[in-house]
């Protein structure tokens, strides 16, 4: 699709529409989890590109230092999560942000139907973490450019049934998610709040998470540290990240 293409409007998959209604209204008690999920997605994008670059080094030529950048703009009331990972093209935006794998969707909605609407483990577990952004945002923009491609795209939605995709400009590869926050989500525009959330949920992330010219996380793979240098909290959050879960390790029986 060329840059002369115009804005296109699409309808969410039916299951996504149902999910968004639930996320926006019911999954409210731990709204801060949205930032953890977006950072996790950004980390995954960096991981995918790092793996792809093993056989196609040109994909990271000129920028081999993977990173995740956070920003808040109180005047514009926006929260931004940006990465220089693999990015998405036009068709991948539709597939990734407009639909959900049917197996995951069915299981997710089935669990919600059992009265588990406040169970935060469900969000990441079924691969729907991106949509947690609508817990704190009236609308979300995703500006992205896939590694190795010249075209960039802007995905936008208010989470109410439709989304648009149009050609855009982005100088480098990667993805930027811009949240236009709700009136009752002002707390997430405070630097101290952002720092606390990152340290609580994302300290284990293996790529630098940068905010206001500082790196908030240790950015060191937990399995490369000596056991004495890993706290119980860091161990638990690493488990949360790889398992997309929110329960405690102690809840699972250990193998003999």
Q: What is the mean pLDDT of residues 205-226?
A: 77
- Identify whether 126 is part of a domain: yes
Q: What is the pLDDT confidence band of residue 237, given thresholds at 50, 70 and 90? A: low
- Identify whether 161 is part of a domain: yes
Q: What is the CATH number of the domain that holds 144?
A: 3.30.565.10
Query: d(Cα 234, Cα 189) in Å, to the nearest integer?
Result: 25
Q: What is the mean pLDDT of residues 120-135?
A: 70
Chain mean pLDDT for the chain: 82
pLDDT digits (tens, 9 = 90+) for 102-124: 445 566 666 666 655 555 555 55
Lowest mean pLDDT, pick from 43-57, 98-112, 146-160: 98-112
Q: What is the mean pLDDT of residues 189-217?
A: 92
> Number of structural domains, the chain?
1
Q: How many residues does the chain have?
A: 256
| Residue 157 pLDDT > 80 | yes
Percent of the chain having pLDDT more than 90? 53
- Identify whether 195 is part of a domain: no
In order, the DSSP letters of 188-256 are GGSHHHHHHHHHHHSTT-SS-EEETTEE-S----GGGS-GGGS-HHHHHHHHHHHHT--S-GGGSPPP-
| Residue 225 pLDDT > 80 | no
- Identify whether 185 is part of a domain: yes
The reported pLDDT for the residue numbered 31 is 87
Q: Express the helix, strand and coil content of the chain in percent, nearest 5 each.
A: 40, 20, 40
- Identify whether 102 is part of a domain: yes
- Identify whether 236 is part of a domain: no
| Under 8 Å between Cβ of 201 and 209 | no
**What are the beta bridge partners of residue 83?**
68, 175
Q: Which residue range(s) make up the domain with 34?
A: 8-190
- Identify whether 147 is part of a domain: yes
Q: What is the mean pLDDT of residues 165-180?
A: 97
- Identify whether 113 is part of a domain: yes
């Amino acid at each position: 699709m060329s840059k002369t293409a115009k804005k296109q409007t699409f309808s969410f998959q039916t299951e996504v529409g149902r999910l968004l209604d639930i996320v926006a209204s019911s999954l409210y008690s731990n709204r801060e989890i949205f930032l953890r999920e977006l950072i996790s997605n950004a980390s995954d994008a960096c991981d995918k590109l790092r793996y792809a670059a093993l056989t196609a080094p040109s994909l990271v030529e000129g920028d081999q230092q993977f990173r995740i950048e956070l920003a808040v703009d109180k005047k514009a009331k926006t929260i931004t999560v940006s990465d220089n990972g693999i990015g998405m093209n036009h068709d991948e935006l539709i597939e990734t942000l407009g639909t959900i794998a049917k197996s995951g969707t069915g299981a997710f909605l089935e669990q919600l139907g059992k009265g588990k609407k406040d169970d935060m483990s469900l969000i990441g577990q079924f691969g729907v973490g991106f949509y947690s952004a609508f817990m704190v945002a009236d609308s979300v923009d995703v500006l992205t450019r896939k590694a190795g491609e010249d075209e960039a795209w802007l995905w936008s939605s208010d989470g109410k049934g439709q989304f648009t995709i149009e050609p855009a400009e982005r100088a480098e590869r990667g993805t930027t998610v811009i949240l236009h926050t709700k009136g009752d989500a002002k707390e997430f525009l405070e630097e101290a709040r952002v720092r606390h959330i990152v340290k609580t949920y994302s300290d284990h992330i293996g790529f630098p998470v940068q905010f206001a010219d500082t790196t908030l996380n240790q950015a060191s793979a937990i399995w490369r540290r000596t056991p004495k240098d890993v706290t119980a909290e860091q161990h638990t959050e690493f488990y949360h990240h790889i398992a997309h879960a929110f329960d405690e390790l102690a809840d699972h029986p250990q193998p003999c």
